[in-house]
C-alpha cells in the first residue's frame, strides 16, 4: 500500500475514533469494509478504556485499604497500643518545580470532642470532665526532592504527649502551638527529616505516645522485595534538651524491620529497636515529663534509659473485607534500669475497620509496664499512671458519616508493684471511660 494511502487511512481512523467518542458518525466511514475495521478499532479502544477504569478503581480501593491499615487520613486507631502510622501525617506527592503550587500543597487535619468519666473503688473521688483537640497540618513539595511540613495543634505546649485541652478555667482561650515544623528530603527509598517531625519509628503506645513528635534529625528507608515483602530501617538523633552552658540530653535510636509478603490470608511484620538516652540535663523537664519514673534526691533520674524494644504483628483478611484482623505484641526492656521494674509488654487485638460509613471496629488491649521500663515523658498518657501499671482497654469505633468516627473506650488499670505505687492504693482498680466524636478533613 502507498505511503499516501496509509497516511490517509490513519487520519481517517483518528478522526473517526474522535468523533465516535463524541457520539458523531462520520459520513466518510460508511464503506462496509473500512467501516467495520474502524468500528473494531473503536471497540478495542473502548475496551482498553474500560480496563483502565477498572484498574483505577481497584488501585484506589487498594490504596484506601492500605491507608485504613496504616492510619493515614482516616479515623484514629484503636485506643490500646496499635501498629504505627507512617512517618508523615500528610505526605506530599512528588512534584517538580514546574507543577502548579496548589497541586504541591497538601492540607489535612481533624477535630475531636470527648467526654471522660473516672472512678475507682476507694482510690479517689469520681470525676467527670471534657476535652477538645484540634490539629491542622500541611506539607508543600518545593520540588521532587524537598518537602516542607508543619502542623498546628491544641494542648499544652509543655506537654509533648498530649494535644487535648481540658474544658475548664472559666472560659480561658485554648492554647495552640506548632507541634511539627520540618524539612523532608527524598532520595529514592531513603527519606531524611530535620526539625520537629512526625514519629519515624514503628511503635505502640507502650514506648511512644501517639502525640510525641521528636526533634532533631531522622531517616527512614524501605526496600520492596520481589516477593511482595519489604525490609526497612529507621534512625533518629533526638535532641531532648540542649543547654548552652552544660550537659545536653539526647537520644540515639535505630530500628530494623521486615514486612512479609502475603502468606495466604496472613501477613506478618517485625520491628526491633534500640533507644539510647543520654540525660545530662533536666533543666527543661517538669513533673509532667518525669511523671512516675523514680528520681534521686537531687531530682535526677534514678535509672538510665537504654530501651530494647521488639514489636511483632500479624494481619488476617480471612474474615472478609469489613473485618480485617490485626494482632500486635510489644516487649520492651530497659537495660540501664537500677530497679527490678525494668520490663514492659503489650498485646493488642483489633477486628474490623473504621474508614467507610457503617464500619465497626472492636479492640482489646492489655499492657504492663515496670516503673522504669520506659521513659514516662514520652510513653502513653491514656491513664492516670505513667509507668508501674497493669491495664486493660476495651474499645469500639463506628463511622456514622463520611470522615466521622464515634468512639468509646474503657480503661481498667491499677499499680503493678506495690513498692512503687506511691500515693495510689496498690490493690485498687481504677476505671476511665471515654466517649468521643472526631471528624477528619
**Is 64 inside any structural domain?**
no
pLDDT digits (tens, 9 = 90+) for 240-281: 998 888 889 999 999 999 999 999 999 999 999 999 999 988
**Is 108 inside any structural domain?**
yes
CB hemisphere CA count around 6 (13 angstroms): 3
**One domain, residues 28 and 147:** no
Provide the CA 2 distance to its chain's centre, in angstroms.
Answer: 63
**Is 283 inside any structural domain?**
yes
pLDDT in the model for residue 66 = 54
**One domain, residues 159 and 37:** no
Provide the CA 279 distance to its chain's centre, in angstroms.
Answer: 27
**One domain, residues 20 and 161:** no
**Is 44 inside any structural domain?**
yes
**One domain, residues 14 and 78:** no
Produce one character per residue of 60-69: b if its CB has 16 or more CB atoms within 10 Å, e if not: eeeebeeebb
DSSP 3-state of 176: strand
**Is 63 inside any structural domain?**
no
**One domain, residues 239 and 366:** yes
**One domain, residues 207 and 240:** yes
Q: Determine the straight-line distance between the first and last CA of the chain, rounded to whole angstroms.
A: 60
Sign of the dihedral defined by the CA atoms of residues 142, 144, 148, 149, in that order: positive
As a whole number of angstroms, the distance between CA 291 and CA 384 comes to: 10
Low-confidence ranges of the chain (pLDDT < 50): 1-32, 68-81, 83-93
**One domain, residues 46 and 75:** no
pLDDT in the model for residue 7 = 45
**Is 287 inside any structural domain?**
yes
**One domain, residues 26 and 77:** no
- Residue 144 — φ and ψ, nearest 5°? -75, 0
Residue with cell 499544652: 156
**One domain, residues 45 and 87:** no
Whole-angstrom CA distances from 385 to 18, 90, 180, 365, 429 are 69, 32, 27, 16, 12
pLDDT in the model for residue 33 = 54
Question: 407: closest CA among 397, 399, 417?
Answer: 397
pLDDT in the model for residue 172 = 86
CATH assignment of the domain containing 260:
2.40.160.10
**One domain, residues 105 and 244:** yes
As a whole number of angstroms, the distance between CA 74 and CA 228 comes to: 24
**One domain, residues 182 and 47:** no
> Taking the model in full, what pTM does it have?
0.79
* CB proximity list for 70: less than 8 A, separation 6 or greater: 83, 84, 85, 86
> Number of structural domains, the chain?
2
Task: State the residue range of the domain holding 31.
Answer: 3-53
As a whole number of angstroms, the distance between CA 178 and CA 378 comes to: 18
As beta bridge partners, residue 315 has: 267, 326
pLDDT digits (tens, 9 = 90+) for 347-395: 999 999 999 999 999 999 999 999 999 999 999 999 999 999 999 999 9
**One domain, residues 17 and 165:** no
CB atoms near residue 272 (< 10 Å):
15
As a whole number of angstroms, the distance between CA 357 and CA 277 comes to: 44
DSSP state of 168: -
**Is 62 inside any structural domain?**
no
Amino acid at each position: 500500500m502507498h505511503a499516501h494511502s496509509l497516511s490517509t487511512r490513519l487520519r481517517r481512523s483518528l478522526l473517526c475514533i474522535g468523533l465516535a467518542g463524541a457520539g458523531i458518525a462520520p459520513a466518510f466511514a460508511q464503506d462496509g469494509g473500512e467501516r467495520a475495521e474502524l468500528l473494531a478499532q473503536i471497540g478495542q479502544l473502548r475496551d482498553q478504556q474500560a480496563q483502565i477504569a477498572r484498574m483505577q478503581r481497584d488501585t484506589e480501593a487498594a490504596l484506601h485499604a492500605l491507608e485504613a491499615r496504616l492510619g493515614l487520613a482516616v479515623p484514629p486507631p484503636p485506643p490500646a497500643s496499635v501498629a504505627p502510622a507512617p512517618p508523615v501525617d500528610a505526605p506530599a506527592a512528588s512534584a517538580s518545580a514546574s507543577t502548579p503550587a496548589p497541586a504541591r500543597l497538601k492540607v489535612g487535619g481533624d477535630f475531636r470532642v470527648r467526654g471522660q468519666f473516672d472512678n475507682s473503688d476507694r482510690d479517689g473521688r469520681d470525676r467527670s470532665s471534657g476535652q477538645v483537640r484540634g490539629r491542622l497540618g500541611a506539607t508543600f513539595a518545593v520540588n521532587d526532592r524537598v518537602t516542607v511540613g508543619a502542623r498546628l495543634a491544641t494542648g499544652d505546649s509543655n506537654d509533648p504527649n498530649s494535644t487535648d485541652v481540658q474544658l475548664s478555667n472559666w472560659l480561658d482561650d485554648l492554647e495552640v502551638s506548632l507541634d511539627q515544623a520540618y524539612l523532608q528530603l527524598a532520595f529514592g527509598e531513603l527519606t531524611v527529616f530535620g526539625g520537629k517531625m512526625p514519629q519515624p519509628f514503628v511503635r505502640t503506645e507502650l514506648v511512644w505516645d501517639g502525640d510525641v513528635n521528636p526533634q532533631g534529625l531522622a531517616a527512614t528507608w524501605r526496600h520492596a522485595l520481589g516477593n511482595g515483602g519489604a525490609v526497612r530501617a529507621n534512625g533518629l538523633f533526638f535532641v531532648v534538651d540542649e543547654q548552652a552552658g552544660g550537659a545536653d540530653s539526647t537520644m540515639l535510636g535505630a530500628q530494623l524491620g521486615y514486612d512479609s509478603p502475603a502468606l495466604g490470608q496472613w501477613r506478618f511484620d517485625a520491628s526491633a529497636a534500640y533507644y539510647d538516652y543520654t540525660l545530662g540535663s533536666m533543666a527543661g523537664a517538669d513533673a509532667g515529663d518525669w511523671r512516675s519514673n523514680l528520681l534521686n534526691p537531687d531530682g535526677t533520674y534514678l535509672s538510665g534509659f537504654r530501651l530494647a524494644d521488639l514489636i511483632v504483628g500479624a494481619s488476617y483478611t480471612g474474615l472478609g473485607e469489613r473485618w480485617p484482623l490485626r494482632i500486635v505484641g510489644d516487649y520492651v526492656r530497659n537495660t540501664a534500669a537500677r530497679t527490678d521494674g525494668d520490663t514492659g509488654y503489650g498485646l493488642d487485638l483489633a477486628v474490623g475497620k473504621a474508614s467507610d460509613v457503617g464500619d465497626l471496629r472492636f479492640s482489646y488491649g492489655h499492657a504492663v509496664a515496670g516503673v522504669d521500663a520506659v521513659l514516662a515523658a514520652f510513653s502513653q498518657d491514656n491513664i492516670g499512671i505513667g509507668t508501674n501499671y497493669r491495664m486493660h482497654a476495651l474499645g469500639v469505633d463506628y463511622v456514622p458519616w463520611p470522615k466521622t468516627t464515634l468512639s468509646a473506650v474503657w480503661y481498667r488499670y491499677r499499680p503493678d508493684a506495690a513498692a512503687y505505687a506511691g500515693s495510689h492504693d496498690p490493690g485498687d482498680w481504677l476505671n476511665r471511660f471515654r466517649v468521643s466524636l472526631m471528624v477528619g478533613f
